[in-house]
Structure 1
């Protein structure tokens, strides 16, 4: 009975054939039903059939992935090369390339020889992991056994060579293949586009067409990727080729077209292409969202994201990363928190790209760092971007020490910092004034050879310059393999901020030696240095350079030109430069107001403010400072007080400490000292030394010695080492008949080891700066200057001018500079003098009388304002 129940050989063969047919059908049509055939195969005793098992292996891998297929594979009593190839293919397709290569080692150890399908999977894994050595061994095997003529394997080899950085060698392989088909051409085109040689990729497409090979959708996908970098013109050419060849716009090709247009910021064309067919997936939607974000059109980006969700398309980690970056740019914490909630529901909180975007969003949008720190801790394997976001974010929130510690933890975790990490940490070292840490980082950078990275080199230069270590900054510049305009703009800006304006201008020669052209930022910096130095000739040359290069269209450059002429006392040139600006911003108007007010044109300065309001430009805090400055120097007390009183309600500007100092100056100059004291005592800020010194100066002006002494005492409590306080107090005593107290004050200053800031003046003649100090004896023309001064004083007496020379101020620096100008400047040119401190009363009277005698315009810019002397009058009208 038992023998009758078992199938005979003929029946068994028939059953095997039936099972094989069933599995073959299920493999292509109905996978899960094919799995159901596994149990009957075992019951029928057919589990030893390799052919059946190979088909089952394919079904399991397609349905459930390599893990379930591996269970079957390990239980197979017999395996052939097809079994091994199927299992390798399963691992390769799910991108578990490490396991695929391990299995290949087992296969070789088991004595099986790979066929073309095995080699294809293994080469794919070698390409993904960069295992060039193993790939080369396989290439030798292919040549030995005649597989090198196989087009698919040749394509895999070319892909391996290109991904391992051997693009030229990949091309040599390609050339050696006879009758290359579309796949091979597409692979070599891909090799060059991945190597960022995009034009060569497009040239290869042209060669492909010339030899008569027809492109397919994947060819155009690669070409469109290259066009995204080359620009819209090339992208449109490739799109035209898609239409010419009549290639069906499948989803992958449509996505590539949309992505190209999005990257070229042609959103209308991108949307038009996306609507050509109804097919949509997450990659297409993500490309559109990214395009809107690139265009800074965040409203449409969020609308596209919402539409995607409504279409039941599940966002990927890249989609969430993009939309979170948009939240960072708005910034929008509420929206970011909603996206975060969706990330949690999607289970992507551990994904590194999403985590990075969340850290960045919370750092930029939140007032605290707790949420960002919480997100960072959730990232399973933080990468360099994660750490950089954390380091930079902590620093931006003012947690510099914590930022430093995070950087150290990053190094300890074995994560190598990139150029942005190092730039961030160098900026922190500069901002907290830490030369020692900067030097330590410099050592680390040299050890890792990161100095060759231009971004890192520039950051190190800026850090040293920001710390005032200019020589160190120059040494870094010398060892940098490459320098650019940012290198020199950074050091020039820092030097300019230090007040070394002449040194800042000298950076121009270094740029010229390196054949580096200025950009708008560097030009604005050099204009600022020229303006601060009062160097008219370099400033004019920079102005000409801006016109020739077209950089005058930069608003920062245009503003710098207005500022230059204003600070050089050329009011008319400043006004003209302002009028040439197409769309003046608030900084433009501020420069104009300063140029007018500081040169004594108070009424035009106030008119400029009214014109600014009529132009629809909102004033800022600096505008109001200038407005109060103009009122103070013009004696317009009530107008100034009115503007101060209504700063908040009219202009939505909360008065800051500087505005209160201006208010004290306004009242003090007008002699309303009691009101000025009331302002100091009632202002919502802790008074600083400057506000006390301002009122001390007013006390000297109006002879209120008791109040002046009180202001001096309060100033010294805050800044006991400031010699200016002693000088102001001593001058007040001397001006109002108490010279002995003045002498005592100066003696006390010397006892404390303090010295008055020496008065220095300089003038520019024939593009050269000539510096003078009080009592100067070193200048080559000093004897000629003294002779000329004596001659002028004699002529004053002959002409009956009301001027009595003061022996103490006989050889002040501004006198020496103006006489030098008379001796050397062209007879019709104005004499321009810059002085580091306020001009004294005696020198001011000397200049007034001098312009009656020599009929020359003299412009003196002192530490406080401009004095334009002309025909016996000064623009300050004696009120300074």
Structure 2
């Protein structure tokens, strides 16, 4: 531990004969080298023979009287957070009889508060007490000292200083109350507020506003209501500024109706208040009202910022209204906001959610300086739309530019690797994320668990799960889903029960994982129990997705009649997927009677859906009803329904190879089809399958091309 600096030699040494000058232990700052001699810290001891003793005395007097340079240097040290040097320099100033200017103490306390340095704040406080004869300061200097203790979390010292202040101004009360609220000490803040009123102080709108904002941060609606009552009693309720703060508080605390009543009584409604109310409508699910308010703002000519437009685009996504969304995009372009990432990124996200990846790409290209959220939005769009190669190229471009990517980007990339079924890419991404130190974040590890699960590597998935120090419900659900989709029902159930025993509340996705596990393992009774427990035990209302999982449980177990009765029970409103699952189960178990009922209900919902017709066609083809199958195909042609061309892909030597049905565009297509002919001949010869001619179309699909392409490469 370094010892404190020794006292410096006197400014005017008595000895002038020695040629060697003693070196002071505190190095004189280089910035002092060019100042006039009369403020020098170490003036030359040898003076001109013409200098009189009176001029030497005058020089000493000037140095003791000014000290402005020393004070400025002290202030510079404190602002840079170099408090150890600052304390040493104060000792030097004391030994040199150079006082710290009173107004400089204010800046010293501000610096200590900014750097959260309580120890140094105490040092300067003690130094000030010596200067003031043991008396604490009041006025602006006392306020600065009080704020320093509050900023540095020295609550006990702040309270003691506050109580001992002989004169407390309105600013003093404001500092004490607002800082207590900001640090989460709500009860103490309201106690001080009541003390202020008892001492006859009337808080101004600034203090009330800070109190209301603190209520928002702590979601203390009851305290907010008490403040509202005080505002009414004190006559501040007619102030639109106060109303705006109250609207903000009620919206963010979830009391939308109260905020609407206040908003309706405002004479002048600022754009910020309108935006706040629009956010409230959105959070409360009143999307139509949010869009109506947005239209009204446009018609009234209110100047809107990028944030309002981003909210409006999100509302359009929720309402699934791409037409209005495009109109909003036009307004953004007209105002010139589209080049800014704060407005351009929501446009990209809007088009991605509607599957319009080309429009999303155009919007992205118009952003002048894309941020991390912008890159994540377009990469997510590429991944969702199956354009994996573009996503990979974009990632490589960002990595080559050494762009800092966050955990959200790697979450998208982990999903991409699992969609590609590319283990090598998954390993590389995992290593890259570790190198960048991003896997310490909880959701990054949860995404890693999901990736390895989808790649079929449950060992690595479980290891990734064990790396999470404190797994939350999302992490538990990820590992449960992994075991569930691979048919490891007992392990999935074991993990689910362990999660419950540790006090974690399951969410809707957790139950989808459990029901999926039961489905893949034929556990019908267990699935019923878990479905019933959702509402009764955990207070979670099952969605149609959960009921569809239960239908799948019945169908996989061959209980088609129970599945049909379950749909007819009226306990939920079946959607198209409900009937698709039942129809698929009927195809597997060759039950034409229930299958036709499912197909009829499905076509009522989705008359022009290709998948619905294909499922019904497969049912008839499976049982050999070719006339009925041909009729389904004829209706498809009459209705202009065409099955969307599917594709499969395989990664070989770092390159993604994509194939579609009848694809002949691959560079080695001739070799692939030649090998396919060999396999066809072998299959015919061995007679390993039945009804070869009828099933030929199904065998010669894109998946065959994928396997052959991989083997030939």
Same fold (TM over 0.5): yes
Whole-Å separation in 1 of the counterparts to 2:675 and 2:344: 53
Decide which structure has the larger Cα Rg and report it. Answer: 1
1:404 to 289, 294, 307: 294
Quick check: 1:338 aligned with 2:226? yes
Quick check: 1:221 aligned with 2:106? yes
Whole-Å separation in 2 of the counterparts to 1:464 and 1:217: 61
Q: Deviations over 1:291-340 (max 9, x none)?
A: 45444565655565556556665433233223322433454544433221
Shift of 1:423: 4.1
Shift of 1:367: 5.0
* Contact 1:263/1:294 (8 A) holds in 2: no
Shift of 1:547: 1.2
Q: Deviations over 1:272-292 (max 9, x none)?
A: 654564765554444444445
Partner of 1:85: none
Whole-Å separation in 2 of the counterparts to 1:574 and 1:674: 38
Please give the residue correspondences for 1:116-265 in structure 2 after superposition, counting only pairs within 5 Å.
199=80, 214-225=99-110, 228-229=113-114, 231-233=115-117, 237=120, 240-246=123-129, 248-263=136-151
Judged with a 3 Å threshold, the aligned counterparts in structure 2 of structure 1 residues 704 and 400 are, in CA distance, closer, same or farther, namely same
Partner of 1:751: 638
Whole-Å separation in 2 of the counterparts to 1:588 and 1:340: 42
Whole-Å separation in 1 of the counterparts to 2:189 and 2:370: 38
Partner of 1:438: 328
Shift of 1:503: 3.9
Judged with a 3 Å threshold, the aligned counterparts in structure 2 of structure 1 residues 459 and 808 are, in CA distance, closer, same or farther, namely closer
2:484 to 577, 588, 597: 597
Partner of 1:819: 708
- Provide the secondary structure at the position in 2 that maps to 1:553: coil
- Provide the secondary structure at the position in 1 that maps to 2:656: strand
Shift of 1:459: 4.4
Partner of 1:677: 564
Quick check: 1:772 aligned with 2:659? yes
Quick check: 1:328 aligned with 2:216? yes
Whole-Å separation in 1 of the counterparts to 2:625 and 2:411: 49
Shift of 1:472: 5.3
Whole-Å separation in 1 of the counterparts to 2:613 and 2:271: 55
Whole-Å separation in 1 of the counterparts to 2:110 and 2:274: 30
Shift of 1:605: 1.7
Quick check: 1:808 aligned with 2:697? yes
Shift of 1:552: 0.7
Shift of 1:417: 4.0
Shift of 1:651: 2.2
Whole-Å separation in 2 of the counterparts to 1:819 and 1:683: 48
Whole-Å separation in 1 of the counterparts to 2:177 and 2:380: 38
Moved more, 742-751 or 358-367: 358-367
* Contact 1:351/1:380 (8 A) holds in 2: no
Quick check: 1:388 aligned with 2:272? no
Judged with a 3 Å threshold, the aligned counterparts in structure 2 of structure 1 residues 407 and 522 are, in CA distance, closer, same or farther, namely farther
Partner of 2:431: 544
Partner of 1:558: 445
Q: CA RMSD in A?
A: 4.0
Whole-Å separation in 2 of the counterparts to 1:819 and 1:468: 31
Judged with a 3 Å threshold, the aligned counterparts in structure 2 of structure 1 residues 604 and 514 are, in CA distance, closer, same or farther, namely same
- Provide the secondary structure at the position in 2 that maps to 1:629: helix
Quick check: 1:714 aligned with 2:601? yes
Partner of 2:10: none
Shift of 1:789: 4.1
* Contact 1:505/1:530 (8 A) holds in 2: no
Shift of 1:782: 2.9
Moved more, 486-495 or 278-287: 278-287
Q: Deviations over 1:7-65 (max 9, x none)?
A: xxxxxxxxxxxxxxxxxxxxxxxxxxxxxxxxxxxxxxxxxxxxxxxxxxxxxxxxxxx
Whole-Å separation in 1 of the counterparts to 2:473 and 2:379: 25
Judged with a 3 Å threshold, the aligned counterparts in structure 2 of structure 1 residues 463 and 232 are, in CA distance, closer, same or farther, namely farther
Judged with a 3 Å threshold, the aligned counterparts in structure 2 of structure 1 residues 219 and 497 are, in CA distance, closer, same or farther, namely farther
Shift of 1:622: 0.9
Shift of 1:628: 0.8
Whole-Å separation in 2 of the counterparts to 1:280 and 1:393: 39
Judged with a 3 Å threshold, the aligned counterparts in structure 2 of structure 1 residues 781 and 353 are, in CA distance, closer, same or farther, namely same
* Contact 2:433/2:439 (8 A) holds in 1: yes
* Contact 1:328/1:364 (8 A) holds in 2: yes
- Provide the secondary structure at the position in 1 that maps to 2:439: helix
* Contact 1:530/1:536 (8 A) holds in 2: yes
* Contact 2:184/2:218 (8 A) holds in 1: no
Judged with a 3 Å threshold, the aligned counterparts in structure 2 of structure 1 residues 293 and 702 are, in CA distance, closer, same or farther, namely farther
Shift of 1:589: 1.4
Shift of 1:699: 2.0
Partner of 1:646: 533
* Contact 1:774/1:812 (8 A) holds in 2: yes
* Contact 2:310/2:343 (8 A) holds in 1: yes
Whole-Å separation in 2 of the counterparts to 1:200 and 1:394: 45
Shift of 1:351: 3.9
* Contact 2:329/2:347 (8 A) holds in 1: no
- Provide the secondary structure at the position in 2 that maps to 1:744: helix
Quick check: 1:365 aligned with 2:214? no
TM-score norm. by structure 1 comes to 0.64
1:686 to 565, 569, 573: 573
Query: Structure 1 stretches of 5 or more lacking a match?
Result: 1-177, 825-880
Q: Deviations over 1:746-771 (max 9, x none)?
A: 22112211122333221122222111
- Provide the secondary structure at the position in 1 that maps to 2:671: helix
TM-score norm. by structure 2 comes to 0.77
* Contact 2:219/2:253 (8 A) holds in 1: yes
Partner of 1:841: none
* Contact 2:357/2:385 (8 A) holds in 1: no
Moved more, 246-255 or 777-786: 246-255
* Contact 1:189/1:201 (8 A) holds in 2: no
* Contact 1:606/1:627 (8 A) holds in 2: yes
Shift of 1:620: 0.8
- Provide the secondary structure at the position in 1 that maps to 2:542: coil
Whole-Å separation in 1 of the counterparts to 2:307 and 2:451: 35
Partner of 2:19: none
Judged with a 3 Å threshold, the aligned counterparts in structure 2 of structure 1 residues 382 and 183 are, in CA distance, closer, same or farther, namely farther
Shift of 1:401: 2.2
Shift of 1:621: 1.0
Quick check: 1:356 aligned with 2:244? yes
Partner of 2:5: none
Judged with a 3 Å threshold, the aligned counterparts in structure 2 of structure 1 residues 752 and 784 are, in CA distance, closer, same or farther, namely same
Shift of 1:455: 3.5
Judged with a 3 Å threshold, the aligned counterparts in structure 2 of structure 1 residues 252 and 653 are, in CA distance, closer, same or farther, namely same
* Contact 1:267/1:291 (8 A) holds in 2: no
Quick check: 1:319 aligned with 2:207? yes
- Provide the secondary structure at the position in 1 that maps to 2:666: coil
Judged with a 3 Å threshold, the aligned counterparts in structure 2 of structure 1 residues 457 and 189 are, in CA distance, closer, same or farther, namely farther
Query: Structure 2 stretches of 5 or more lacking a match?
Result: 1-62
Shift of 1:663: 1.4
Judged with a 3 Å threshold, the aligned counterparts in structure 2 of structure 1 residues 672 and 265 are, in CA distance, closer, same or farther, namely farther
Partner of 1:89: none
Whole-Å separation in 2 of the counterparts to 1:451 and 1:791: 56
